[in-house]
Amino acid sequence: MTESGTIDDTLAELIEDFDVLEDWEQRIAYVIDLGKDLAPLPEADRLEANKVPGCAAQVWLASGQDGDRLTFRADSDSAISKGNVALLLKLYSGRPADQILAFDAKAALDRLGLPQALTRQRANGLNAMVGRIRQEALAAE
């Protein structure tokens, strides 16, 4: 899933999408819809090593490299967690490690209002997903 433009361009598009939605029920439904668009994660990637600890649901996050760009594949057994990881993949997948590490995910997610719309456990899981992506970027540098 490679996005065109910069990571900030993708964030701006997400902000526009979120701002059009009237309430948090619609926003969570939008996030769930993002998850429905994720390509199925191959069984070979559903390894214990690819599980993201700290998530309310099972979340698998696999990574690879295409030149200097990191690519991510993910899945979850929960619709909300799958949507959350799909949103993160829109932001991060196909980006160089330095761009991933320079991006302020907390500020971006706060701007979208996502952590406030989630239970504490799901918000912690979202942070764990971001942490895992950043770990992969650090390892790739």
55 in catalytic set? yes
CB-based contact 86:35 (threshold 8 Å): yes
Distance CA 7, CA 22 (A): 25
| Residue corresponding to tokens 């030149």 | 67
Contact 126, 61 (CB under 8 A): no
- Please give the angle made by the CA atoms of 39, 56 and 54, to the nearest 5 degrees: 95
Active-site residue among 14, 28, 55, 118? 55
Q: Which conformational region is residue 137 in: left (phi greater than 0), alpha (psi within -120 to 50 degrees), or beta?
A: alpha
Active site residues: 55
